[in-house]
Copies of this chain bind each other. A is one copy, B any other.
Amino acid sequence: VDIVLGANKYGKAEIRLLRVDRDAPAHHITDLNVSTTLVGDLAATHLTGDNSGVLPTDTQKNTVYAFARDGVGEIEDFGLRLARYFVDSQPTIHRARVRIEQYRWDRADGPHSFVRGAGTRTATVTYDGDAAWVVSGISDLTVLNTTGSEFHGFVRDAYTTLAETKDRVLATAVTARWRHGSASPGERGWAASHADAVRHLLAAFAGTHSLSLQQTLYAMGQRVLQHCPELVEVRLSLPNRHHFLVDLSPFGRDNPGEVFFPADRPYGLIEGTVLRAGAADAEPAW
């Protein structure tokens, strides 16, 4: 045959789960969106429809709910438990990836009430039967600086009309993921590590006098690695949420950096990785 099956994977996407811990008088909630992906000896189901090696995606969903009965804890741990279970219990499954989004809830008045906050904590755990990789992160962290951002000295070609600027609004919706050097939590544990990483991302965004969004990106990754020794790599995706100064001169008005039009599309998209030299290999690509 000259036509063959290449890379393939399958799983259950977006398993929504709320875990309520009622042990203490003040309840605690964990609100997750879990996606599982499995890789293994799956040629038969593709070629002949023989499903004898297929753990149904419905079962993967059930497993997530059943495991949550024993507590979720930190999402990195929950992901590790699930990924290891799928590979270790299923002879046909050789690799598993579990991706978790955790939605933020803040406590409201009283011990049983909560308000949804902004920002999403993420974890992606990969396990191949031997090694495990843990990548923590955040998404939808939208930030803005009203000053301290310049952009000039760039290439000018026949299609360049952009004016140089010494002061602009810089805004982005941060998606960041940081890889741990080990699949075991450091002394501080996953939660404190995550809080620190987010704190340093924010501090670097706010504290960097920026000559380009790329420079801000690098400063954000660098600062996280400098302060979080348990991390070896930071991957950042930063859409440039352009804020255009509105021309008010037709109405006889100046506009000294006060009135802006936040545009939807198109947007710049700056993506990059900052890593510790000599870091161990990243998880296998999917």
Whether A284 is near chain B, meaning CB under 8 Å from some CB there, is no
Q: How many copies does the complex hold?
A: 4
Within 8 Å of chain B (Cβ to Cβ): is A246?
yes
Give 1 or 0 for each of A197-238: 1 = CB within 8 Å of chain B CB: 000001101110011101101100110011000000100000
Contact B62 A161 (CB under 8 A): yes
Instruction: State whether A274 and B118 are in contact (beta carbons under 8 Å apart), knowing that A16-B262, A109-B202, A266-B15 are contacts in the complex.
Output: no
Which positions 163-213 of chain A face chain B at CB distance < 8 Å? 169, 202-203, 205-207, 210-212
Which of B7, B10, B55, B212 interacts with A270 by CB under 8 Å? B10
What mask results when residues 273 to 286 of chain A are scored 1 for a CB within 8 Å of chain B, else 0? 11111100000010
- Set B45, B112, B255: member contacting A215, Cβ < 8 A: B45
Bound complex: CA of A65 vs CA of B261, how far in Å?
A: 9
A58 lies within 8 A of B161 (CB)? yes
- Least Cβ–Cβ distance between A255 and chain B, in angstroms: 7
Q: Is A269 an interface residue (CB 8 A)?
A: yes
Beyond A258-B19, A265-B14, whether A154 also contacts B1 by CB under 8 A is no
Q: Which residue of B lies closest to A10 (CB)?
A: B270
Q: Once bound together, how far apart are the Cα atoms of A214 and B44, in whole Å?
A: 9
B239 pairs with A13, CB closer than 8 A:
yes
Q: Can you report 28 residue pairs joining A to B where beta carbons are below 8 Å apart?
A: A5-B272, A6-B233, A6-B272, A8-B214, A9-B272, A10-B270, A12-B269, A14-B267, A22-B147, A27-B147, A29-B146, A45-B215, A46-B214, A46-B215, A51-B151, A55-B155, A56-B155, A57-B268, A58-B268, A59-B157, A59-B161, A62-B160, A65-B246, A65-B248, A65-B259, A92-B155, A113-B143, A113-B145
